[in-house]
Amino acid sequence: MRTASVTVESASPYTAGRVFTSEKAAKESHDDFEKRVWAERLNVDDKGNGVIPGHAFMLSLCSAAKRYGGKIKGEGNSTWSKFFDSGILVLEPLSLGVTRTTVECHRQHVPSDGMPGGTKRVWRNFPIVHKWGGVIDYHVLDDKITEEKFEELIKQAFTFIGVGTWRPEKRGLNGRAHVKAVEWKDS
Give pLDDT tens digits for 47-93. 999 999 999 999 999 999 999 999 888 888 889 999 999 999 999 99
Give me the sheet containing 121-129, strands edge to edge: 14-15, 121-129, 104-111
Domain hosting 145: range is 2-186
Q: How many helices (H) and strands (E) does the chain have?
A: 4, 9
d(CA 93, CA 136): 8
The predicted model scores a pTM of 0.92
- Residues 88-126 have pLDDT tens digits of 999 999 999 999 999 999 999 888 887 777 778 888 999
Domain count, the chain: 1
Q: Which residues contact 9 (CB under 8 A, 6 or more apart)?
A: 133, 177, 178, 180
Q: Which residues contact 92 (CB under 8 A, 6 or more apart)?
A: 54, 136, 137
The gap from C-alpha 111 to its chain's centroid, in whole angstroms, comes to 20
